[in-house]
Amino acid sequence: MIELTTMRSSSRVEQTGPIPSPMARRTYLHPPIEEALVELRFAAESDVTVAGRLHERLHNRYPGSPEEQQLVTAGIAADQNEPTTGSVVFGEQGRRVLLRDDEGRRLLGVGPQVLSIHNLRPYGGWEEDFRPRVVEALEAFGNLVSDSMVTKLGLRYINLITVPVDRLDVDEYFATGYMQPDTVAPAVNRFFVRLESELRDDVRLATTFASTDAPEGNCAFLLDLDLICDRAGAPLALSEAMPLIDELRQIEREAFEAMIKDPLRRLFDV
């Protein structure tokens, strides 16, 4: 059972505000990161041979067998008869080739207009592991497709946070949530909150905070921070992408720290 006392409610809220100033880097012994990824989308399609040539260049990093995947987009379609309801709709968005390391936890995705770098749990650290792989992938791709222009850039951290108690007050662990009067329901079993924040004209943060299934005797939560920079109106040269990725990472780090409280920080260091 999850007890929620002071929450902010909305299924989708637009917020505006300045990008936060840099803060000191904080690391945890056991970070709750289920997946971290960086994705770049390009103005033009690359040659179909790029994935194979990337695999040749980065074979030592991604020695696993390449796997072809269908890219799928998801969205909400409103019901014309019931404006307050909607349904999830899916659409195809081309295919990509996924390169893997030996353990299948570090991945590189290559599609006609997309390049993505992934790190699944356990997370190896930004400076120690993930950032060097992003730099390496961008350099290798740029050497093969020298005129690449970036129209959209994303950095996403999906956190799966498990608290070893069967009942808790969310306010004790998180600084984000939703509001619901006690007279309506003093205890909530499940919740799902999504907010979209506009940080500046070309950068927005989509935050998903939700309860999720947990082993018996535990409570589990999803905290998904998805930063998107839209450069469709002013495409960015691939060689200029890394400083922006570093900036998005700093924003994500500060957003995460602002949304959690000390009991969680202590839990991540156990």
What are the residue ranges spanned by the domains of the chain? 2-44+147-268
As a residue count, the chain comes to 270
The pTM is what?
0.83
Task: Give the distance, in angstroms, between the CA of residue 266 and the centroid of all CA atoms in the same chain.
Answer: 23
pLDDT tens by residue, the chain, 270 residues: 444 333 333 333 333 344 444 567 789 999 999 999 999 999 999 888 999 999 999 999 999 999 998 755 544 454 555 444 444 444 455 688 999 999 999 999 999 999 999 999 999 999 999 999 999 999 999 999 989 999 999 999 999 999 999 888 889 999 987 666 666 666 677 889 999 999 988 999 999 999 999 999 999 999 999 999 999 999 999 999 999 999 999 999 999 999 999 999 999 998
Nearest residue to 191 via CA among 15, 33, 8: 8
Among 227, 228, 193, 190, residue whose Cα is nearest residue 208:
193
Backbone angles phi, psi at 101, to 5 degrees: -80, 180
End-to-end CA distance of the chain: 24
What's residue 25's pLDDT? 74
Name the residue type at position 85: T
Structure token digits, residue 70: 């269908």
H/E element, 161: strand 149-163
Give the up-direction half-sphere exposure of residue 259: CA atoms within 13 A in the CB hemisphere.
Answer: 22
User: What's residue 20's pLDDT?
Assistant: 42
